[in-house]
């Protein structure tokens, strides 16, 4: 995301240089850019992928003749794999029912063997008690049905492919740099607006206080708040010596809605403050114009006279 950020800063400086010759025009640029970003941000809630079916994490175990729909997810406990431990391990296998299982053990598989599929040797786990019986397979790593070779309850290495496949990558790759570029365009106009809103002796303190408040209310709490939001969407954590580690599997739908939902709330609040700044300049709530803005106008007139001479 570095190139969009650099381009946005450069473009923001050019826009201010051409159009932002007064405080009112500068704050208008800031508000317009803020509103555009605020309107684009909700699109992140639309473009996203669905969770894959992972037994015990996103869908319930469904052994033949039993239903576990009343058990809250995530829950890897099931009678079909009694005695299977290592609940913090994730080496996914794709069952013949099209559901992903955390490991072959959690699929209830009792044996394994090698089968040639599309010209390559593939490890296949057999006699899997947690997988409903199937006459034929409709998946196997995206390949066609393998009739007469694999039938019944089995699994192959790797997670099952999404059906239908996720098509949100391209919109995300277009939208994300666009929002990043427009968002970073705000940096230069806001800095110029800060400088023009105070008298010359107060400018160092104004910039210092802006940096302090930005770090105090932005950079410091952000890792804590966003870290908690990200962890809340985790379905399975690694663990070592009884201590919880990094997340292995996320609920990507919850992740998307909570993460970008908070971004949207902050964008709206930020845009409201930009409107307050606009009204402050437009209606003269700051009581007086900074001297420097008047001085800038006075400096331009002598320069014009000299050029005429």
Q: Let me know: does 185 contact 120? Beta carbons within 8 Å.
A: no
Task: Return the bridge partners of 116, or none.
Answer: 121
Using an 8 Å Cβ cutoff, are 143 and 89 in contact?
no
Residues in the chain, how many?
Answer: 309
What is the domain class of 2-48+167-289 according to CATH? mainly alpha
CA-based torsion, 192, 194, 198, 202: positive or negative: negative
CA-to-CA distance for 297 and 107, rounded, in angstroms? Answer: 77
What is the pLDDT, as a whole number, of residue 285?
Answer: 65
Alpha-carbon span 270 to 31, nearest angstrom: 10
SS (H, E, C) the chain: CHHHHHHHHHHHHHHHHHHCCCHHHHHHHHHHHHHHHHHHCCHHHHCCCCCCCEECCCECCCCCCCCCCCCCCCCCCCHHHCCCCCCCCCCCEEECCCCEECCCHHHCCCEEEEEEECCEEEEEEECCCCCCCCCCCCCCCCCCCCCCCCCCCEEEECCCCCCCCCCCHHHHHHHHHHHHHHHHHCHHHHHHHHHHCCCHHHHHHHHHHHHHHHHHHHHCHHHHHHHHHHHHCEEEEEEECCEEEEEEEECHHHHHHHHHHHHHHHHHHHHHHHHHHHHHHHCCCCCCCCHHHHHHHHHHHHHHHHHHC
Q: Quick one: pLDDT at residue 287?
A: 54
Residues 293 and 196 sit within 8 Å (Cβ to Cβ): yes
- What pLDDT score does 34 carry? 95
The two tokens of residue 111 are 């044996």
Q: CA 90 to CA 52: how far, in whole Å?
A: 14
Helix axes 23-40 and 187-196, enclosed angle (nearest 10): 150
CA pair distance 37, 29, nearest whole angstrom:
12
Half-sphere exposure of 25 (CA within 13 A, CB side): 9
The residues pairing with 94 across neighbouring beta strands, listed in sequence order, are: 100, 156
pLDDT number for residue 69: 54
pLDDT of residue 79: 81
pLDDT for the residue numbered 70:
59
In angstroms and rounded to an integer, the radius of gyration of the C-alpha atoms of the chain is: 29
Question: pLDDT means per 10 residues in the chain (309 residues)?
Answer: 82 90 91 95 92 90 57 79 79 91 90 77 86 59 43 83 87 92 92 88 89 90 94 87 82 94 95 93 68 48 46
CA 194 – CA 242 distance, rounded (Å): 51
Alpha-carbon distance of 205 to 200, in angstroms, equals 10
What pLDDT is stored for residue 131 in this prediction?
Answer: 87
Residue 150 is predicted with a pLDDT of 56
Separation between Cα atoms, residue 286 and residue 213, nearest integer Å? 20
Q: Would you list the domain boundaries of the chain?
A: 2-48+167-289, 52-165
């Amino acid at each position: 995301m570095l190139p969009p950020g650099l381009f946005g800063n450069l473009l923001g400086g050019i826009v201010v240089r051409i159009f932002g010759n007064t405080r009112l025009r500068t704050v208008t640029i800031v508000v317009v850019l803020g509103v555009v970003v605020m309107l684009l941000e909700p699109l992140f809630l639309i473009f996203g992928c669905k969770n894959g079916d992972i037994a015990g994490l996103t869908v319930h175990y469904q052994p033949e003749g039993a239903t576990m729909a009343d058990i809250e997810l995530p829950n890897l406990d099931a009678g079909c794999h009694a005695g299977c431990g290592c609940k913090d391990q994730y080496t996914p296998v794709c069952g013949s029912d099209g559901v992903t299982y955390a490991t072959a053990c959690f699929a209830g598989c009792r044996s394994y063997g090698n089968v040639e599929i599309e010209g390559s040797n593939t490890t296949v786990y057999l006699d899997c008690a947690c997988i409903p019986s199937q006459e034929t397979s409709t998946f196997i790593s995206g390949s066609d049905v393998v009739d007469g070779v694999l039938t019944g309850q089995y699994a192959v290495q790797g997670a099952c492919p999404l059906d239908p496949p996720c098509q949100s990558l391209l919109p995300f790759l277009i939208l994300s740099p666009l929002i990043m570029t427009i968002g970073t365009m705000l940096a230069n106009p806001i800095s110029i607006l800060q400088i023009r809103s105070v008298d010359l002796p107060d400018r160092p303190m104004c910039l210092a206080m802006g940096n302090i408040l930005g770090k105090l209310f932005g950079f410091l709490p952000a890792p804590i708040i966003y870290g908690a939001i990200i962890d809340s969407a985790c379905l399975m954590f690694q663990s070592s010596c009884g201590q919880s580690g990094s997340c292995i599997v996320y609920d990507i739908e919850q992740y998307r809605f909570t993460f970008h939902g908070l971004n949207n709330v902050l964008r709206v609040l930020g845009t409201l403050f930009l409107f307050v700044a606009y009204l402050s300049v437009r209606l003269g709530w700051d009581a007086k114009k900074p001297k420097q803005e008047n001085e800038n106008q006075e400096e331009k007139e002598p320069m014009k006279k000299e050029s005429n001479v």
